[in-house]
């Protein structure tokens, strides 16, 4: 089981990356699951479920440090999203009785959702991130054990199915249980664990699925955000440096439903970013990424996923 709350016994002093604020101390949980496994939950208040790891402040600071170090070595390179579309390989894992079957039409609809979300979203304040996605391949596997227990077989699944290099987005669909919607790796981990790179989402969260409140495809949008380096909007709670993005307001805890107008960090600027794709709100509440998030995704692409580095 992976810890969810930013509570525990290990204290970490985190500097303000902008240099404009004091250092703050965050209390963190020792990780109970490998770094790079960050999830979207259907009910963030329900407690821990398998593979639902949240990054501790220490882990997030380490990832941020690795990004800054990588960018320092690439000073001559332009920070930009890919010039071409990101190739996507979708691996549909289903049961022999047909459970988990995802039609080609629903796969295509998921790609359409990603392209809309990353080109400006569903709100006039949304940023065009510059990222676009093209379906390259769909694989289909019928296996009852793989379908019902992806985590227990993920090493074997990925060893057999994964395609491409760091620039290829591999999406796996399966049954993840009632509480877990999806999870993703981070780009910093590709160099040491390429076989684990990719996004896993519950099959019923793709457009046209029957997951109530989460059937518009934004679990995919959210997890691809992690794959491109974004943290949750509520990373570090109200403590500096938050999610390391300058234009997303601080947020004490994950949102559930669509609590527009919530201000969980009243001493920080702005209301909670509950309509941001990197929160836990319902799909129909999520509308956009920010310019700061677009920049951070481009930084991660340049540092860790650009085909230039292959």
The residues assigned a catalytic role are 223
Look at the block and give the residue holding tokens 């004091």. Answer: 22
**pLDDT value, residue 83:** 87
Q: Which tokens in the block code for residue 175?
A: 């049954």
**pLDDT value, residue 91:** 98
Q: Which helix (H) or strand (E) holds 172?
A: strand 169-174
Report d(CA 194, CA 217) in Å as an integer.
25
**pLDDT value, residue 11:** 24
Tell me the whole-structure pTM to 2 decimals. 0.86
Low-confidence ranges of the chain (pLDDT < 50): 1-35, 47-52, 309-310
Report d(CA 63, CA 51) in Å as an integer.
19
């Amino acid at each position: 089981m992976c810890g969810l709350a930013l509570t525990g016994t290990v204290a970490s002093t985190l500097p303000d990356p902008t240099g404009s604020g004091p250092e703050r101390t965050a209390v963190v949980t020792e990780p109970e699951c490998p770094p790079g496994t960050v999830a979207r939950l259907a009910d963030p208040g329900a407690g821990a479920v398998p593979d639902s790891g949240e990054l501790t402040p220490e882990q997030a600071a380490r990832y941020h440090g690795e990004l800054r170090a990588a960018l320092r070595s690439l000073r001559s390179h332009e920070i930009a999203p890919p010039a071409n579309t990101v190739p996507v390989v979708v691996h549909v894992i289903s049961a022999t009785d047909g459970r988990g079957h995802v039609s080609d039409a629903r796969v295509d609809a998921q790609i359409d959702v990603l392209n809309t979300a990353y080109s400006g979203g569903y709100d006039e304040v949304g940023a065009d991130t510059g990222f676009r996605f093209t379906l390259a391949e769909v694989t289909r596997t019928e296996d009852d054990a793989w379908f019902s227990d992806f985590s227990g077989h993920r090493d074997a699944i990925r060893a057999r199915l994964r395609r491409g290099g760091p620039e290829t987005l591999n999406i796996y669909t399966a049954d993840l249980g009632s509480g877990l919607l999806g999870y993703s790796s981070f780009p910093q981990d590709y160099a040491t664990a390429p076989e684990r790179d990719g996004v896993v989402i519950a099959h019923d969260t793709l457009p046209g699925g029957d997951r109530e409140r989460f059937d518009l495809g934004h679990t995919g949008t959210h997890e691809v955000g992690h794959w491109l380096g974004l943290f949750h909007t509520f990373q570090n709670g109200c403590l500096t440096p938050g999610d390391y993005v300058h234009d997303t307001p601080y947020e004490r805890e994950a949102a559930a439903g669509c609590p527009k107008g919530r201000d969980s960090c009243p001493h920080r600027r702005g209301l909670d970013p509950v309509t941001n794709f990197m929160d836990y709100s319902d799909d129909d509440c999520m509308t956009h990424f920010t310019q700061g998030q677009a920049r951070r995704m481009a930084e991660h692409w340049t540092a860790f996923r650009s085909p230039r580095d292959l």
